[in-house]
Structure 1
Amino acid sequence: MAALNSPTAPSSKTGEREIIRRSADYHPSVWGDHFLAPSPEDLVPNVGVQQRIEELKKQVNRMLNLASNDPTEEINLIDTLQRLGIAYHFEKEIGEALQRIYDAQIDENDDNLYVVALRFRLLRQQGYNVSADVFSKFKDKTGRFKANLTIDLQGMLSLYEASHLSVREEDIFDEALVFTSTNLKTMMNHLTSSLAAQVGHSLELPLHKRLHRIETKHYISIYKEEKSRIEILLELAKLDFNQVQLVHRREIREISKCDHGVIDQLPEYMKVCFRELENLFNDIEDEMIKEEKLHQFYYLKQEFKTLVRAYFGEAQWFNNGYVPKLEEYLQISMVSSVLSLFNVIAYIGMGKIATKEALDWVTSLPKLSRSSCIIGRLMDDIKSNKFEQKRGHVSSSVQCYMKEYNVSEEEACKKLQKMVEMTWKDINKECLAPTPVPFPLLMPMVNIARMSELTYMYEDGFTNSSGRTKENIASLLIDRYVV
């Protein structure tokens, strides 16, 4: 409570009463007006680049058609397209290929760990409910994974990545994760520096939990050094990355203009907040009327009301010095994390696929949405707990767990991290067919969890955005490829 009386905290006056407000003392924006100033590339579309992209897409289409005659070549090509960030151009072709692979179930390469694990991962991450039993053949008579698998680096990496798409009670993947991660760490000491770096990158955070657009930038740097690289794919990946980056930069510039206007006029704390929120909603409503999407506006308003109620609940906890049990805490804090609101906003931007039924579903806070919000909330709390409690803050999941189970802060963080890992299994389960909404509508929630993994991997990258967060933003929105 000391932070409430801090002389450095911002204050406002209501009549004769002065209210001292706590301050998080966030550092200033690391970007300033960077995104307000358009570059020449932002203003003038490069027709030649777009024509070259279309030419390359035709060539890749032909490659996909030819690869359909060789199952191993086909899954390798699909994996490469996905990791280079250009698979979205070939959704129809890849969708048909994966359905064909799924229908085939077993092929002559089933004793090849790399192929079996890659095939499994590609299908699972697209929602196909393939069985984990395909990995039983890689165990010996004692029920352990065969020792000779450890000499197969690509196979071990492939199994490691596949194990992160498991659901609860798939014990074979828990065993696979321990087996692969332990042996891969040992193998790193005997690999070339480039291979060791690739293995280290996977062990740091598996592909399934990474934000794909940022991972694309990393994989391009790896792929360009591979002797077996296909230059057509590399060129398309670089050109496409630059084009998508331009779209993001234009959008960020427009948002920055709006925010800049708000920052310049902050005379009073709450009045400005409500006035600008009202202006924002009026602008959104006008746009939705033009696009005949006014029915979606209702869901956005309701979600904001739910968010404000969650904030009010947390304020009551703080003012009363109340430390709830973990389950009670999560019921409110997973909403106050704002992540469920992000899901609704994402749906509104996804066009006709986000039907009334889909919006009804996502605003009901289904298990997939709850799971992604819980991951975000817990990872934030684990990394920001000390900083937030120091300045005065509602009890986090760390304090709630410590009090409820009478354990140390270190033990509480370990248990909460384990909850994060188990909640990922719930996310994987909720993405398996049949799903209540079309598969693309599941991805915003999965990406929320991925964003949380990236942001809070080593620190509170949201509060301290001058380190890794700045590097990731620069990689995504500033650094371009010369092609």
Structure 2
Amino acid sequence: MYIQNEEYGLRLDQQIQGVKGLFVEEKRDLAKLELVDSIQKLGLASHFQRETKEVLDNILTTQSSNSSVKENIYLSSLCFKLLRQHGYKVSTDTLSNFLVKNGKVLKKTLEGSVKDILEILECSHLAVEGENVLEKAKTLALSSLNCASERMCGDLLEEVVHAVELPSHWRVQWFDIKWYINHYQKQHHMDATLLNLAKLNFNIVQAKHQDEVKELSRWDAKEVQQLPEYMRICFQALNDITNETASEIEREKNLDLVLPHLKKVAERERGDAASSIMCYMKEMSVSEEETRNHIKCMIRNAWKKINEECFTDMGSSRQFVSLAANAARVAHTLYQNGDGFGIQDRGLTSPLLWVDNKEQK
């Protein structure tokens, strides 16, 4: 299935126009923000950049005088999250009104509805250095969710586990889209137009990715000129590195025919590389638990530095910062549950095409 296919292209355009109509129909700030949030999680943000900007510009302009934002912790958290995710400069003041009193984080606020707590948890991962209130809020939110999880089941428990495992800000979005489509279609507020668009868009993009992988997996230098320019650059770089590595090994070890083996396998055997956990345990003479906590703290601090760059208006540098943040997300996803890159059975799989016979016929 390709976007070049006239039928699918026409269907995509029609459904995009249908969702754009939702922005006109919705009058409430909360409904518009939830629409923007769903569009982003469903992988459709690129189709609605203008509409999203209009919503967020309006929210930012009226935020200080908007009583609903000031009085609703869920709306305030959602507003803060979306503004920061889209690069707007926004302080933690509106959240502090709910979270802090006399210099202390209010535990009571983080014992409310699960919906509120989840949104506060998402906000806490958008903190920059020095925003200690969000760090404290994260600790209390996790504790509150852990206690409440004993009384949860079904979709709600699944949503909580997903959020606690890895926040959306740290995830590679493409690997999360199919999960969110599954989750979204079970919601009582689900909009069928938006859901159908998400499924169609997912299939189109995934089919394109699969076709690119097929082309790249051939690694035939004779046909490189038939590839798109951006793929030729990637292929040529990989081909050059492979050839240079093979030549160097052959010179040093006086071996022949190294190149064919490199083309089949560029991976070292498992167990050769010491993990960061083992290195730190040995160097500092500490337990594995202490080591893991130390590394988690390093990761949190690194993300705060990344956030500082992401949420600063740098004009032409924004694309580079976005690429750097995505590289961090890829690394985090690959190693979240161990070595997901070298060990191939960690459950890290590419999402498959969405199969829905009724919608895709």
Q: Would you call these one fold, judging by a TM-score over 0.5?
A: yes
**TM-score, normalising length: structure 1:** 0.61
Q: Distance in 1 between matches of 2:319 and 2:32?
A: 23
SS for the counterpart of 2:218 is helix
Amino acid at match of 1:48: E
1:220 and 1:415, CA in 2 relative to 1: closer, same or farther beyond 3 A?
A: same
RMSD of the alignment, in Å?
3.2
Amino acid at match of 1:114: Y
Partner of 1:155: 116
2:194 matches 1:240 = no
Question: Unaligned 5+ residue runs, structure 1?
Answer: 1-40, 262-278, 313-383
C-alpha deviation, 1:481, in angstroms = 3.9
2:13 matches 1:134 = no
Question: Unaligned 5+ residue runs, structure 2?
Answer: 249-267
SS for the counterpart of 2:67 is coil
Paired residue total: 329
Structure 1 residues 143-182: aligned runs within 5 Å: 143-147=104-108, 149-182=110-143
C-alpha deviation, 1:398, in angstroms = 4.2
Partner of 1:51: 10
Amino acid at match of 1:435: M
* Equivalent position to 2:294, from 410, 415, 439: 415
What do residues 21-78 of structure 1 show as CA deviations (whole Å, max 9, x unaligned)?
A: xxxxxxxxxxxxxxxxxxxx47x954323212211111211211333x4222211110
Q: Distance in 2 between matches of 1:96 and 1:80?
A: 16
What do residues 376-421 of structure 1 show as CA deviations (whole Å, max 9, x unaligned)?
A: xxxxxxxx9xx95xx444x654465446544455533432222111
C-alpha deviation, 1:445, in angstroms = 1.7
2:212 matches 1:251 = yes
What do residues 102-139 of structure 1 show as CA deviations (whole Å, max 9, x unaligned)?
A: 22232111121100000000011111121012122113
C-alpha deviation, 1:144, in angstroms = 2.6
What do residues 161-187 of structure 1 show as CA deviations (whole Å, max 9, x unaligned)?
A: 111000111000111101111101111
Partner of 1:379: none
Provide the identity percentage: 29
* Equivalent position to 2:182, from 192, 209, 221: 221
SS for the counterpart of 1:105 is helix
Q: Distance in 1 between matches of 2:112 and 2:134?
A: 19
Amino acid at match of 1:101: I
Q: Distance in 2 between matches of 1:174 and 1:398?
A: 24
2:324 matches 1:452 = no
2:158 matches 1:197 = yes
Q: Is the 8 A contact 1:86 1:237 kept in 2?
A: yes
Structure 1 residues 224-373: aligned runs within 5 Å: 224-258=185-219, 283=224
1:193 and 1:400, CA in 2 relative to 1: closer, same or farther beyond 3 A?
A: closer
Q: Distance in 1 between matches of 2:295 and 2:110?
A: 33
Q: Is the 8 A contact 1:248 1:477 kept in 2?
A: no
Q: Is the 8 A contact 1:455 1:462 kept in 2?
A: yes
Q: Distance in 1 between matches of 2:188 and 2:311?
A: 36
Partner of 2:45: 87
Q: Is the 8 A contact 1:127 1:439 kept in 2?
A: no
Partner of 1:361: none
Amino acid at match of 1:108: S
Partner of 1:31: none
Q: Is the 8 A contact 2:110 2:140 kept in 1?
A: no
SS for the counterpart of 2:119 is helix
1:194 and 1:400, CA in 2 relative to 1: closer, same or farther beyond 3 A?
A: closer
Q: Distance in 2 between matches of 1:468 and 1:223?
A: 22
Q: Distance in 2 between matches of 1:459 and 1:120?
A: 32
* Equivalent position to 1:120, from 57, 80, 103: 80
Q: Is the 8 A contact 1:84 1:219 kept in 2?
A: yes
1:148 and 1:90, CA in 2 relative to 1: closer, same or farther beyond 3 A?
A: closer
Amino acid at match of 2:6: V
2:56 matches 1:98 = yes
Q: Distance in 2 between matches of 1:479 and 1:205?
A: 23
C-alpha deviation, 1:438, in angstroms = 4.7
Amino acid at match of 1:215: D
